[in-house]
């Protein structure tokens, strides 16, 4: 294992020190609880948005903290859920008096710990907490880490859109409603060409032969649908689009198309794949209104790609375009 | 070799199709010449900024085309200079009547081809063309691809700052002056943990043992200063900072600190390294005024990192903060 780290035990805490050093104008970090916070928070009268999960998926979630997106992100160990105390600390820290929304990816540990933290925050401080659980991965139902579908790329789009809605002053009920709707209208599918290596494990999570790829991979290297011979970009695009369209009708409404690199796949290939995916979508009658290409929800250095489609409405598109100022997504400010 | 491509011959042209499909609002592409152009260009009365180089370093340069940065980028084959005809086409396309500035990284082929294109554009259309050659890599003098020092990370900072100055209406002489000054005040140093694989070659450019790293690597996998046993992040930070500070005095002026992933190094490690580098800089009395962390000038999927420091003045910082709207860097608009 070759990684630019000091010790496998301190990867997350030292990366948070680096984030703080790099973004002193935008972020502050509660190091004791490993919570990344918006520098100017809590914003009085605004609903606080809290997300989090295992580390190793950067920029998600810490990189999405800031004006127009999250108020706090809880960083678990690599590929490990944050604990309830972290989430409770984050919930307290972002409470601006208008309640708190938890944005949770559907992994058993995450769901359980966010729920527990919500109960504690309500009991201790009387904070009203709602939650949305994202479960958009069409690859598999139930997996190593999940009952039901896994939560993946839709989370990024949801955090941007709901973040803008919170910034615009919508209340907790309205935010819970739009978040739930987004979660229901987003679908994802991924594939991997290589494994990644979790620092504490010291060796690749799985092995793939030089001529193999894995379709339907999870963001922790969880097994997917099947191992296949390495495909061309055109074939791979088809394999990603088809199960997504088979699961939900994406015609008749504008769509946000998000092509995501898993960490080790160069942007050159991501763009090439975007082109192939766009061709398939056009042939299927899907209208792409906005797009996002880049490595935003990653699995350390895993080579691979995921596709997320979100069925949007005009309100969601307006919120997508609204200003955002985070280390990972930034425009309009 | 596992890559999400269709054929090694079409990687660049198909990636450009994908870029165009992903950013129809911001870019247009001259596919015959492989030139990425600003959608709203040429801007009348504005100096046109043209850069380019081998592909495989994305988002540089095509991802830096747009309002507040480049007007055009010429995409060569992977790790291969663009040809004079491409550069001439770009120069013609961005001519808004105020002259054109070529931003060139110091590789022999790039320098020669940009010079030839400048002469042709001047002769054929009477366009006044100036050039700045970036040669900021302190690792080695003369290398496989270069006479003199190689041009690396300072190029990204230069394109942002000079792009803002051009947007503000400064003339060709003023832009050439500030560009030359930035080139003289930026220094970089990189290291690699793994090689990358050029599609047409089909195998890694070089081999590194599991316990080795290469210090002073170039962005095409050119040999660096030395091969060393794998170091800790703290040691690696020292190895990057020391030669940069030994080459230029960075005290007494605000500095832009750019920690760049080479493609295959996760953001988690990049931030961890940023923290280590920030510690060394602070101990050395260097004042970081702005920072950039991410994979902006890459070597396909190479794992590694580079550090760039730019000695800035208040004017440069103001230009750094100015709005930019490109696929790769975007804020304020």
**Chain centroid, CA B229 distance in Å:** 28
Peptide bond before residue B293 is cis, with ω within 30 degrees of 0: no
Q: Which residues of A136-170 are buried (b: 16+ CB within 10 A; e: fewer)?
A: bbbbbeebebbebbbbbbbbbbbbbbbbbbbbeeb
pLDDT digits 0-9 by tens, B148-195 = 999 999 999 999 999 999 999 999 999 999 999 999 999 999 999 999
> In degrees, to the nearest 5, what angle opens at C-alpha B76 toward C-alphas B56 and B155?
65
User: Band of the pLDDT at A223, cuts 50, 70, 90?
Assistant: confident
Average pLDDT over residues B70-81: 98
User: Band of the pLDDT at B201, cuts 50, 70, 90?
Assistant: very high
Of the candidates B313, B321, B304, B240, the residue with the CA atom closest to the CA atom of residue B278 = B240
Distance from CA of A124 to the nearest CA of B (A): 34
Residue with tokens 């984030």: A19
Q: In the prediction, which pLDDT does B262 show?
A: 98
Q: In the prediction, which pLDDT does B142 show?
A: 79
B6 touches chain A (CB under 8 A): yes
> In degrees, to the nearest 5, what angle opens at C-alpha A143 toward C-alphas A137 and A149?
30
Residue with tokens 């935003």: A296
User: Band of the pLDDT at A140, cuts 50, 70, 90?
Assistant: confident
Beta-strand pair A304-311/A288-294: unpaired
Percent of chain A, pLDDT > 70? 100
φ, ψ (nearest 5 deg) of residue A307: -115, 130
From residue B149, alpha-carbon distances to A29, A261, B136, B139, B152 in Å are 39, 32, 6, 8, 9
User: Is the per-residue pLDDT at B144 higher than 80?
Assistant: no
User: Is the per-residue pLDDT at A142 higher than 90?
Assistant: no
HSE of B121 in the Cβ direction (CA atoms, 13 Å)?
A: 30
A194 touches chain B (CB under 8 A): yes
Of B21, B194, B270, Cβ closest to residue A274: B21
Q: How many CB atoms lie within 10 A of CB B142?
A: 10
User: Is the per-residue pLDDT at A222 higher than 90?
Assistant: no
Of the candidates A305, A283, A290, A294, the residue with the CA atom closest to the CA atom of residue A329 = A294
Q: In the prediction, which pLDDT does A240 show?
A: 98
| Contact status, residue B330 vs residue A330, Cβ threshold 8 Å | yes
A11: nearest CA partner in chain B: B272
What gap in Å lies between CA B20 and CA B261, rounded to an integer? 25
Q: How many CB atoms lie within 10 A of CB A21?
A: 23
Average pLDDT over residues B65-70: 98
Contacts of A267 in chain B (CB under 8 A): 58-59, 63, 295, 298
From residue B237, alpha-carbon distances to A256, B232, B279 in Å are 39, 9, 9
Of B233, B301, B332, Cβ closest to residue A265: B301
Write out chain A in H/E/C secondary structure.
CCCCCCCCCCHHHHHHHHHHHHCCCCEEEECCCCEEEECCCCCCCCCEEEEEEEECCCCCCHHHECECCECEEEEEEECCCCCHHHHHHHHHHHCCCCCEEEEEECCHHHHHHHHHHHHHHHHHHCCCEEEEEECCECCCCCCCCCCCCCCCCHHHHHHHHHHHHHHCCCCHHHHHHHHHHHHHHEEEEEEECCCCECCCCCCECCCCCCCEEEECCCCCCCCCCEEEECCCHHHHHHHHHHHHHHHCCCCCCCEEEEEEECCCCCHHHHHHHHHHHHHHHHHCCCCEEEEEEECCCCCCCCCEEEEEEEECCHHHHHHHHCCEECCCCEECC
Of the candidates B160, B147, B140, the residue with the CA atom closest to the CA atom of residue B49 = B160
Question: Of the given ranges (A108-112, A218-222, A294-298, A308-312), which has the lowest mean pLDDT?
Answer: A218-222
Positive or negative, the CA dihedral B76, B80, B83, B84 is positive
Q: Which residues pair with residue A140 across a beta bridge?
A: none
**Chain centroid, CA A86 distance in Å:** 18
| B280's tokens | 């060394």
Q: In the prediction, which pLDDT does A221 show?
A: 85
Q: Which residues of B281-314 are buried (b: 16+ CB within 10 A; e: fewer)?
A: beeeebebebbbbbbbbbbbbbbbbbbbbbbbee
Of the candidates A150, A46, A138, A63, the residue with the CA atom closest to the CA atom of residue A99 = A46
What gap in Å lies between CA A200 and CA A315, rounded to an integer? 43
Of A6, A11, A236, Cβ closest to residue B4: A236
What gap in Å lies between CA A237 and CA B290, rounded to an integer? 39
Tell me which of A3, A6, A18 to substitute to probe the interface with B (most B C-beta atoms closer than 10 Å): A18
pLDDT digits 0-9 by tens, B269-327 = 999 999 999 999 999 999 999 999 999 999 999 999 999 999 999 999 999 999 999 99
User: Is the per-residue pLDDT at A141 higher than 90?
Assistant: no
Scan residues 116-175 of B and list those with Cβ closer than 8 Å to A: none
Contact B2 A230 (CB under 8 A): yes
Average pLDDT over residues A209-232: 93
Contacts of A265 in chain B (CB under 8 A): 4, 301
User: Is the per-residue pLDDT at B143 higher than 80?
Assistant: no
Of A4, A12, A272, Cβ closest to residue B265: A4
Residue with tokens 């763009």: A271
Secondary structure (3-state) at B50:
strand
Secondary structure (3-state) at B103:
strand
Mean pLDDT across chain A, nearest whole number?
96
Contact B298 A332 (CB under 8 A): no
User: Is the per-residue pLDDT at A146 higher than 90?
Assistant: no
B209 touches chain A (CB under 8 A): no
Given A57, A61, A92, A102, which residue is catalytic? A57
Residue with tokens 């930070």: B237
Contacts of A56 in chain B (CB under 8 A): 266, 268
| Contact status, residue B216 vs residue B227, Cβ threshold 8 Å | no
User: Is the per-residue pLDDT at A47 higher than 90?
Assistant: yes
B88 compared with B332, residue with greater pLDDT: B88
A25 CB-near residues (< 8 Å, 6+ apart): A39
Secondary structure (3-state) at B204:
strand
Average pLDDT over residues B196-203: 95
User: Is the per-residue pLDDT at A144 higher than 80?
Assistant: no
| Contact status, residue B239 vs residue B191, Cβ threshold 8 Å | yes
Beta-strand pair A100-105/A48-55: parallel
Continuous segment of H or E residues that includes residue B304: strand B304-311
Given B23, B61, B92, B220, which residue is catalytic? B220
pLDDT digits 0-9 by tens, A130-139 = 999 999 999 9
Is residue A102 part of the annotated active site? The answer reads: no
Q: How many CB atoms lie within 10 A of CB A230?
A: 17
| A130's tokens | 């709602």
A206 CB-near residues (< 8 Å, 6+ apart): A195, A214, A221, A223
What gap in Å lies between CA B99 and CA B292, rounded to an integer? 30
Q: In the prediction, which pLDDT does B277 show?
A: 98
All domains of chain A in start order, with CATH: 11-185 (3.40.50.10440), 186-320 (3.30.1180.20)
User: Is the per-residue pLDDT at B70 higher than 90?
Assistant: yes
Q: DSSP character for B43?
A: P
B307 CB-near residues (< 8 Å, 6+ apart): B153, B188, B189, B190, B240, B241, B244, B257, B258, B259, B260, B277
Q: How many CB atoms lie within 10 A of CB A44?
A: 9
φ, ψ (nearest 5 deg) of residue B136: -105, -5
Q: In the prediction, which pLDDT does A147 show?
A: 85
B58 touches chain A (CB under 8 A): yes
Scan residues 218-247 of B and list those with Cβ closer than 8 Å to A: 230, 232-234, 236
pLDDT digits 0-9 by tens, A159-177 = 999 999 999 999 999 999 9
User: Band of the pLDDT at A333, cuts 50, 70, 90?
Assistant: confident
């Amino acid at each position: 294992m070759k990684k630019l780290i000091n010790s496998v035990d301190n990867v997350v805490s030292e990366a948070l020190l680096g984030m703080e050093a790099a973004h002193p104008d935008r972020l502050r970090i509660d190091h004791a609880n490993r919570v990344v916070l918006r520098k100017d928070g809590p914003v009085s009268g605004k609903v606080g948005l809290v997300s989090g999960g295992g580390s190793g998926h950067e920029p998600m979630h810490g990189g999405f903290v800031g004006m127009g997106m999250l108020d706090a992100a809880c960083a678990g160990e690599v590929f490990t859920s944050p604990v309830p105390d972290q989430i409770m600390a984050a919930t307290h820290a972002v409470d601006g008096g208008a309640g708190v929304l938890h944005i949770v990816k559907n992994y058993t540990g995450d769901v359980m710990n966010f729920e527990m933290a919500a109960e504690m925050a309500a009991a201790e401080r009387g904070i009203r907490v709602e939650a949305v659980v994202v479960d958009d991965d069409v690859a598999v139902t139930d997996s190593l880490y999940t009952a039901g579908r896994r939560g993946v790329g839709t989370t990024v789009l949801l955090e941007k859109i709901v973040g803008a809605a919170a910034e615009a002053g919508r209340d907790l009920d309205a935010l819970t409603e739009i978040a739930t709707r987004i979660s229901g209208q987003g679908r994802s599918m991924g594939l991997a060409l290589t494994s990644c290596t979790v620092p504490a494990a010291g060796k690749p999570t799985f092995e793939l032969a030089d001529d193999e790829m894995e379709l339907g991979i999870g963001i922790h290297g969880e097994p997917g649908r099947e191992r296949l011979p390495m495909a061309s970009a055109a074939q791979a695009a088809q394999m990603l689009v088809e199960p997504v369209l088979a699961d939900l009708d994406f015609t008749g409404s504008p769509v946000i198309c998000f092509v995501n690199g898993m960490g080790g796949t160069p942007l050159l290939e991501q763009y090439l794949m975007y082109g192939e995916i766009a061709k398939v979508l056009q042939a299927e009658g899907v209208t792409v209104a906005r797009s996002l290409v880049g490595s935003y929800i990653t699995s350390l250095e895993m080579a691979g790609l995921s596709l997320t489609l979100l069925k949007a409405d005009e309100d969601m598109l307006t919120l997508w375009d609204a200003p955002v100022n985070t280390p990972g997504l930034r425009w309009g400010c």
